[in-house]
Amino acid sequence: MNAGYTPGLAGEPESSMDRMLDIFDVRPDPVVPARYLGDSDGGSRRVVDGSQILGQSIVAATKALPGRTVRTAHALFVSAADPDIPLDFTVTPIKTGRSFAGAAVTVRQELKVRTSCTVLLDNPQPDLIRRDEPAGLPVAGPDEAVPADNLPLPGREVRIVGSADINDPDEVGPPVVDAWLRYDEIPGRDDLHRAVLAHFTGHLAISTALRPHPGLGTAQAHHTLSTAPMGIAVSFHDPVKWDGWLRYHHEATFVGAGTAHIRGQISTESGRLIASFTQDAMIRSFERGPVTDMPSEARL
């Protein structure tokens, strides 16, 4: 299912990129050390995007281990999170050495585990050698890409190469999707840079996996298709800085047995590779039709 945001439900704050930055910036618990508290934005859906929780986990680990930079983060989404219930992030150091540190971030709601994230941190080093060539080149630039109106979020612009509606079951193409993103404002802090980059890794992977298959698309999610990201891994390639457009390159390398594996890269418009990611997703049909007790706001 695509993670597009729509205006909040009645009584809820309006979805925007500014609000997402506030959500990523989890707050320290005033009583319990290495515990952080966070909110969510489900938009019109009664579910929290896993990639939002991944971004928050990155910020929580950075705050718990100051002076370190998150190099990799691997999140396993074991249970769906409710956007109306606060999130609790507990950071447990695994090993803290002179060069590298590892930590486990356990994310709970009312004592129930929702996500488990393993984070590797280090201190950035000067290049001994460097090669950062993005995959899938050449590709049409943002001026030639199609605005993705089904992924609205004020403060962020998304354009997709060669696709008028990436959710459409009748739009068939190769298992590759390139998306261009641009933010009105880029956060100043490094940990928020990484949270922002991680956030969009969950948006188009399942659409990429479904794209070659006629009659299947993410518009059917929660109707005839049961889809969800089960795990996302992201690796950051310093320096994680950009100005202007970002390119998210997605490639589904396997689809079968009710699952899909998608790999991707994030690069700047100038062609500098700044992060890589993978997603493992569930793609299954409803055996007895769609879930009937799901709130109507959660159905796309």
Residue 292 has pLDDT above 60, yes or no: no
Mean pLDDT of the chain: 90
pLDDT of residue 104: 98
Label residue 50 by pLDDT band (50, 70, 90).
very high
Better-predicted residue by pLDDT, 294 or 237: 237
| Residues in contact with 183: Cβ distance below 8 Å, sequence separation at least 6, in sequence order | 17, 155, 156, 157, 196
The predicted-structure confidence for 131-188, as pLDDT tens digits, reads as follows 988 998 899 999 999 999 889 899 999 999 999 899 999 999 999 999 999 999 999 9
pLDDT of residue 287: 65
pLDDT of residue 290: 44
- What's the rounded Cα separation, in Å, for the pair 208 and 212? 8
Radius of gyration from C-alpha coordinates of the chain: 18
Which SS3 state, helix, strand or coil, does residue 173 take? coil
Expressed in angstroms, the distance from the first to the final Cα of the chain is 8
Label residue 224 by pLDDT band (50, 70, 90).
confident
- Rounded-to-10 torsion of CA 35, 47, 192, 240: 120
Integer CA distances (angstroms), 261 to 77, 176, 194, in order: 15, 12, 22
The answer to whether 50 and 75 have CB atoms below 8 angstroms apart is: yes
**Residue-range domains of the chain with CATH:** 17-124+138-298 (2.40.160.210)
Which SS3 state, helix, strand or coil, does residue 192 take? helix
Tell me the pTM. 0.90
**What sign for the dihedral angle of Cα 237, 240, 245, 250?**
positive
pLDDT of residue 2: 40
Residue 240 has pLDDT above 90, yes or no: yes
Integer CA distances (angstroms), 72 to 116, 122, 125, in order: 14, 10, 15
**Given the structure tokens 């001994």, which residue do they identify?**
128
Residue 217 has pLDDT above 70, yes or no: yes
The answer to whether 69 and 36 have CB atoms below 8 angstroms apart is: no
Residue 111 has pLDDT above 80, yes or no: yes
Better-predicted residue by pLDDT, 242 or 298: 242
Written as one letter, the residue type at 41 is D
- What's the rounded Cα separation, in Å, for the pair 299 and 234? 28
Label residue 207 by pLDDT band (50, 70, 90).
very high
The predicted-structure confidence for 60-75, as pLDDT tens digits, reads as follows 999 999 999 999 999 9
Beta bridge partners of 181: 158, 246
The encoded tokens of residue 220 equal 């059917």
How many CA atoms are closer than 13 Å to the CA of 144, on its beta-carbon side? Answer: 7
Which H or E run contains 105? Answer: strand 100-109
Which H or E run contains 51? Answer: helix 50-64
pLDDT of residue 12: 59
The answer to whether 226 and 282 have CB atoms below 8 angstroms apart is: yes
Residue 298 has pLDDT above 60, yes or no: no
Average pLDDT on 79-87 reads 95
